[in-house]
């Protein structure tokens, strides 16, 4: 068998590009994202699959109006999507998110409101949650852009991940919100919840021509 000489490379530029120039350091706690999804606390009593109106069992209810939102997750054919992972987040009753990037000094944090949670749909694709009705907030002072009250949803199951926003019916800021108005007019009603006797109802369609508008924020 012929022998093969191995050359020693002294100027390996590819390796230099892949190797950090400085020693790696751990991310300090203050720089970590504290707005990470948390699993639902299934031991909580009550009528809801997810209760965001308080941060723990026997803790005080957060400030503001407690609302209940129910609905279904559906595929393109209108069939229910069971066992879909649904993440929900919204700002508090003062218009502030419990997030390190939201440092609006005019809107206080609520120590009793975290505003982020996760649930799984049942076999019929249904979800049910309680949260605090979010307030409108000033997104950009230079153009006087106020975001209307809304709740963010992220759905994983039955296809690609869908991130969307639920708007409240009849709010005058809906028709002034660039994020909402970028949706074609015929699709905007699909992003607005319906009022029911027990709260709000909002179905989410993951795919197809009737898909719920995708969030562009």
Active site residues: 97, 137, 147, 150, 152
DSSP state of 106: T
Angle at 33 between CA 27 and CA 35, to 5 degrees: 160
In angstroms, the CA 15 to CA 57 distance is: 52
In angstroms, the CA 204 to CA 158 distance is: 12
| C-alpha 140 chain-centroid distance | 20
Structure tokens at 57: 């069992």
In angstroms, the CA 52 to CA 74 distance is: 23
């Amino acid at each position: 068998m012929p022998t093969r000489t191995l050359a020693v490379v002294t100027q390996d530029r590819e390796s230099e590009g892949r190797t950090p120039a400085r020693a790696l350091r751990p991310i300090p706690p203050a720089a970590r994202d504290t707005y990470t999804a948390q699993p639902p606390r299934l031991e909580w009593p009550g009528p809801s699959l997810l209760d965001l109106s308080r941060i723990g069992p026997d803790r005080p209810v957060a400030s503001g109006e407690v609302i209940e939102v129910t609905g279904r997750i559906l595929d393109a054919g209108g069939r229910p999507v069971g066992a879909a992972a649904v993440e929900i987040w919204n700002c508090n009753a003062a218009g502030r998110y419990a997030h390190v990037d939201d440092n609006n000094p005019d809107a206080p944090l609520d120590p009793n409101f975290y505003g982020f949670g996760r649930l799984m749909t049942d076999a019929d694709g249904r979800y049910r949650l309680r949260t605090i009705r979010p307030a409108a907030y000033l997104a950009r002072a230079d153009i006087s852009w106020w975001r209307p009250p809304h709740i963010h949803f992220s759905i994983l199951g039955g296809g690609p991940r869908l991130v969307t926003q639920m708007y409240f019916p009849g709010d005058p800021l809906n028709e002034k919100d660039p994020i909402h108005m970028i949706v074609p007019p015929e699709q905007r009603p699909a992003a607005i919840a319906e009022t029911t006797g027990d709260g709000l109802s909002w179905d989410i369609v993951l795919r197809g021509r009737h898909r719920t508008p995708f969030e562009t924020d």
